[in-house]
Structure 1
Amino acid sequence: MVTHEDILKIAKLAKLEVEASELDGLTEDMNEIIAFADTIASVSAEEEAYTDINGLENVLREDTVQPGLSCDEVLANAKDTDDSSFVVRQHA
């Protein structure tokens, strides 16, 4: 269980100022965080297989090689080209 002294020690290490009026709330919050972490740590991953609560599945297609475009096809609609490149004007 976290105490007011623990909160003050943590605050000092973190170089934070904690007002006396904040101690009760911070102590309660820290104890809730630790209790939650303890709950998570106590669950065995082997007890039950993970299931997606939404029932979603990956619907990815297989990767297949497709023919690419030739350089001429890529540059066909370009405004300005230099043989095998797009020409991009620089604005000052």
Structure 2
Amino acid sequence: MPDTPPALTREDVAHLADLARIDLSDAELDHLAPQLSVILESVASIQGVAGDDVPPTSHPLPLTNVFREDVVTPGLSAAEALAGAPAVEQQRFSVPRILGDEQ
């Protein structure tokens, strides 16, 4: 397990806030320094878990493709598709115009 990182000081947090152009009050600096130290300690503890024998992964469980194969099947002909249409014009569905001439 890697060494525990040193605790962040109030000055460290102020420097990071300055680099990030974040204006923090004195109370916020005092509040954030211990919280950020805990986060750094947690990350350091996780880094020690995965050894060289553990392969890097993008997902904890193996993923498989759940889709079926893309197989071409016969579809409807144009006449069959248009057979149930209320109105047909030039082998296309005919629908009422919804946009006026001003468009």
1:3-44, CA deviations, whole angstroms, 9 ceiling, x for partnerless residues? 111111111111111111112221111111111111221112
CA distance in 1, matches of 2:93, 2:38: 60
Higher relative contact order (CA 8 A, sep 6+): 2
**Structure 1 unaligned blocks of 5 or more:** none
The residue aligned with 1:60 is 66
Q: TM-score, normalised by structure 2?
A: 0.57
**Structure 2 unaligned blocks of 5 or more:** 1-6
The residue aligned with 1:39 is 45
User: Which structure has greater helix proportion?
Assistant: 1
CA distance in 1, matches of 2:93, 2:45: 59
Larger Rg: 2
CA distance in 2, matches of 1:35, 1:81: 71
Q: Secondary structure at the match of 1:2?
A: coil
Q: Could you tell me how far 1:71 is from its partner in structure 2?
A: 3.8
